[in-house]
Each structure stands twice: as C-alpha cells, then as structure tokens.
Amino acid sequence: MAQLNHSTRTTIRPYRTTRGSFRLEYFQPSTTVSSGVIAYGDVVQFDVNVATANHRIVKASTMANVPNVISTALIGIAAEADASSVSATSPNPGLLGVYVAEKDAEFVFPTKLAGTAHLSSLLGTRRAVGYDSTNSMFYLDVGNSTAGDATVIVTGLVSDEGTTNGLVRGRFISTNVSRLISGAF
C-alpha cells in the first residue's frame, strides 16, 4: 500500500476536459484581502464580502473551526500565484490566471485519508473541499458526506486503491460555481 505525504506544494491541478484544453481566464485579485494571498492550485471565488470588490477574486475561505469551503461563487483553480508586484513580463499584468470550473473540466484533488477509505465506492459521490492550514493546501474531504458541504462530484481515482492520502479526480458541482462561469449547467 502506497502512501503519499502532503507538503506545502500539494495542490489541486487540472486533469482533463472534453474540449481538449482547459479554459483559462484572467481576473483581478481583490485588494481587500491582506492575509489570503492566492497561490497556484488554490480554489478561488469572487469576493462576495465587499460590495465594491465583487468582480475581483479571492482565495476561497472556510468558516471558523470548519475546514470545508462553502460557496456559490467559486470560479476554479488558480493557474498562477498572486504577486504583490506583478512583473511587466506577465501575460496579463495585474490579472491572475484561473483554470475555470466549467462542466467538462476535471481536476485532480489530493485527499487526507487512511487507505481503507480510498476505494472505488467514492465514484459518483458528492464531497466537500477542505483546507489544511498547516500545509496551506486545499483537498477533497472524502470523509465528509454532509450534503450541504458538497462542492465536488468524484469522477475517478488517480492513484491505486488503498493509497493513503490518495488522489481523486472530480468536477465542481454547478450550484457552487458562480453563474458567470457555470451558465447554469
């Protein structure tokens, strides 16, 4: 039985899309958030907390003492890190690239899970996206089956069954994705 060890470099990443390539869009990071700097692989959403910044994006956040992300304004996965001083050589200075969570986009999600629960019985289930503040990483909380927390449908296992901290693939549920992105899919 293999074991994957998480670190600060463990991220959600694009897996595949039926269109052949991921839809990459650029958004302006919110200036109202000082502590939640966006890193590659972070789940991002529109800034719904500041009325004058709701067209900008922030790192998805969790409630106090709850690791799960609950949002209806998700956009997707950050394709690059936010830098406070954007380089003039950036493809879109001042903007941040995001792999959009459209209906045909599958992502690879790390899990934090003992081997016996990483089974094919996860396929088709709806699970929550959690955040581990120790490793600064988002992960699929496959141990949580609370329907209200579910933001992703599991579409497959990436690593062998029985793997501790295994990888799964999944798609974001349309009701959690911003209507601007989902178009009510």
Q: What is the pLDDT of residues 106-149, one digit of tens each?
A: 999 998 876 656 677 888 999 989 888 888 889 998 877 777 78
What pLDDT does 106 receive?
A: 95
For residue 184, pLDDT beyond 60: no
Assess if residue 75 is contained within a domain.
yes
Four-residue CA torsion sign, 58, 64, 67, 70 = negative
Assess if residue 31 is contained within a domain.
yes
pTM over 0.85: no
What pLDDT does 86 receive?
A: 47
Assess if residue 139 is contained within a domain.
yes
Q: What is the pLDDT of residues 10-65, one digit of tens each?
A: 889 999 998 888 999 999 888 655 557 888 999 998 887 776 667 788 888 766 55
Query: Residue 173's domain spans which residues?
Result: 13-179
Assess if residue 57 is contained within a domain.
yes
Q: Which residue has the higher pLDDT, 86 or 35?
A: 35
Assess if residue 6 is contained within a domain.
no
What pLDDT does 14 receive?
A: 94
Assess if residue 4 is contained within a domain.
no
Domains identified in the chain, total number: 1
Question: Quick check: 36 and 131 in contact, CB under 8 A?
Answer: no
Q: Please, what's the b/e burial string for 123-157 (b: 16 or more CB within 10 A of its CB; e: otherwise)?
A: eeebbbbbbbeebbbbbbbbebeeeebbbbbbbeb
Assess if residue 8 is contained within a domain.
no
Assess if residue 168 is contained within a domain.
yes
Beta bridge partners of 130: 68, 139
Residue count (the chain): 185
What pLDDT does 148 receive?
A: 75
How remote is the C-alpha of 76 from its chain's centroid?
6
